């Protein structure tokens, strides 16, 4: 089972929901990734937790880094907002997905 999270900027108030973790119907995992340059975030499916997925940020073409599922709650508050670049982000669980 995966988690539905909301990530919201404490400065500009922009928020986005992400479906992370768990395994989907096909058994794929859905980790959260963030851009090392601009902090853009998105999810990307992968077949197994040991597989490394590498891809470029769709916003700035820099490398994306996977945020470990067990570290999402601790890492998100340390990241600045992708939109305003000022505020730190707030994380909250808003549900579960299967």
Closest CA to 76 of 65, 90, 86, 92: 90
Per-residue pLDDT for the chain (98 aa), expressed as one digit of tens each? 889 999 999 999 999 999 998 765 666 788 999 999 999 999 988 876 666 777 899 999 999 999 988 899 999 999 999 999 988 899 999 999 87
Classify strands 32-35 and 15-21 as parallel, antiparallel or unpaired.
unpaired
Query: Which domain covers residue 43, as residue numbers?
Result: 2-97
The whole-model pTM stands at: 0.84
CA distance 98 to 91: 20
Token couple for 32: 């959260």
Domains held by the chain: number? 1
Name the burial class of residue 16, with classes exposed (0-12), middle (13-18) and buried (19+) by CB atoms within 10 angstroms of its CB: middle
């Amino acid at each position: 089972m995966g988690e539905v999270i909301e990530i919201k900027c404490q400065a500009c108030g922009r928020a986005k929901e992400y479906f992370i973790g768990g395994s989907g119907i096909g058994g794929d995992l859905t980790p959260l990734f963030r851009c090392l340059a601009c902090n853009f975030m998105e999810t990307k499916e992968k077949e197994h937790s040991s597989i490394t997925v590498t891809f470029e940020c769709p916003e700035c073409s820099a490398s994306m880094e996977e945020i470990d599922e067990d570290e999402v709650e601790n890492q998100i508050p340390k990241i600045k907002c992708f939109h305003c670049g000022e505020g730190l982000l707030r994380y909250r669980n808003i549900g579960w997905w299967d």
